[in-house]
């Protein structure tokens, strides 16, 4: 019997302790709520001049939201919303979080960014800038084009695009050998013989000189010549009675020159082709006062 009474006494004590703890928790919650509600700035709304008196003598103030002006924080969410558990306990309606759905931004308008990149960037939405060089050997950045694979204006040897030399067709002799020069200036041996192989060398004048070419009447001039691959040569003049010399080469002094005279070298080549050179000697004019 004593044990039964002891158990009842113990249970009564535990129930009294539990009630005290619950009461203390309620007091703490009320204190927190009172602190949050008293954190607002003093009431200073301009609408206070429009108050009406209630039956109990209290001043009835018109709602200050969304009218303006109103005191700071009047239209802000209740401070209780900062503690969701307390707001739920007292049934306070709090606004939704200030975030946009579906990736929109700029709350509360919640707009979407443009689908193009600014300042010339590309690859939306990363909006990167391309490199300043061309890939795969292209050139002319930023168009990055490829040059043509052929040369213009008839040039060849791409990509240097050079022009081939041009020559006239020519058969010529080197010693006793006959050679050929073609239209692109390449040379090739036609025939090499111990004799001339029918290769006839062209005649040429190595030296032809008449000095001076301007003399006073009665003066003389020097005439020099030398030739190659010729059979014979003759030098003549129009100075009466006229100078005349023969030979493949020579050096002569003319007779007295009385007037304008032409000296002429005439040769016959080994191939019977003619070779001619000429020079004119003039007289210095004499001026007399009248």
- pLDDT tens string, the chain, 290 residues long: the values are 566 555 656 665 655 656 666 666 767 676 676 665 555 444 445 555 555 566 666 655 555 555 445 555 555 666 767 777 767 777 767 766 667 777 677 776 777 666 777 776 777 777 777 666 677 667 777 777 766 667 776 677 777 777 777 888 777 777 667 788 888 888 888 777 665 556 667 789 999 999 999 999 999 999 999 998 889 999 999 988 789 999 999 999 999 999 999 999 999 987 788 999 999 999 998 877 76
Can you name the residues that pair with 111 across neighbouring β-strands?
A: 105
- pLDDT at residue 30, rounded to an integer: 64
Where do runs of H (alpha helix) occur along the chain?
A: 2-37, 84-90
Q: Is 252 helix (H, G, I), strand (E, B) or coil?
A: strand
Tell me the backbone φ, ψ of residue 100, rounded to 5 degrees.
Answer: -100, 150
Strands 59-60 and 52-53, sheet pairing: antiparallel
CA distances to 172, 210, 270 from 225, rounded to whole Å, are 25, 9, 18
Question: What ranges do the domains of the chain cover?
Answer: 97-127, 204-283
CATH number of the domain located at residue range(s) 204-283 in this protein: 2.60.40.1930
- pLDDT at residue 161, rounded to an integer: 75
pTM over 0.85? The answer is: no
- pLDDT at residue 6, rounded to an integer: 57
Which residues does 272 contact at the CB level (< 8 Å), separation at least 6? 231
Within 10 angstroms of residue 178's Cβ, the number of other Cβ atoms is 19
């Amino acid at each position: 019997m004593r044990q039964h009474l002891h158990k009842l006494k113990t249970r009564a004590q535990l129930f009294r302790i539990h009630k005290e703890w619950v009461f203390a928790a309620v007091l703490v919650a009320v204190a927190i709520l009172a602190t949050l509600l008293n954190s607002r700035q003093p009431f200073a709304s301009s609408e206070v001049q429009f108050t009406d008196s209630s039956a109990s003598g209290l001043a009835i103030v018109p709602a200050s939201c969304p009218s303006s002006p109103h005191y700071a924080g009047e239209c802000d969410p209740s401070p209780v919303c900062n503690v969701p558990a307390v707001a739920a306990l007292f049934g306070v309606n709090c606004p939704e979080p200030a975030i946009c759905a579906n990736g929109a931004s700029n709350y509360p308008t919640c707009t979407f960014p443009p689908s193009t990149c600014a300042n010339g960037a590309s690859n939306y939405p990363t909006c990167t800038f391309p490199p300043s060089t061309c890939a795969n050997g292209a050139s002319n950045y930023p168009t990055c084009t490829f040059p043509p694979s052929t040369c213009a204006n008839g040039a060849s040897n791409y990509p240097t695009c050079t022009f081939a030399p041009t020559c006239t067709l020519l058969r010529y002799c080197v010693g006793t050998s006959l050679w050929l020069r073609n239209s692109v200036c390449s040379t090739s041996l036609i025939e090499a013989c111990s004799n001339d192989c029918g290769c006839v060398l062209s005649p040429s004048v190595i030296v032809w000189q008449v000095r001076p070419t301007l003399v006073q009447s009665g003066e003389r001039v020097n005439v020099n010549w030398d030739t190659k691959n010729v059979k014979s040569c003759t030098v003549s003049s129009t100075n009466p009675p006229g100078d005349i010399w023969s030979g493949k080469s020579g050096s002569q002094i003319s007779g007295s020159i009385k007037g304008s005279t032409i000296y002429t070298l005439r040769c016959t080549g080994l191939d019977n082709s003619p070779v001619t050179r000429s020079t004119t000697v003039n007289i210095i004019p004499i001026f007399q006062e009248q």
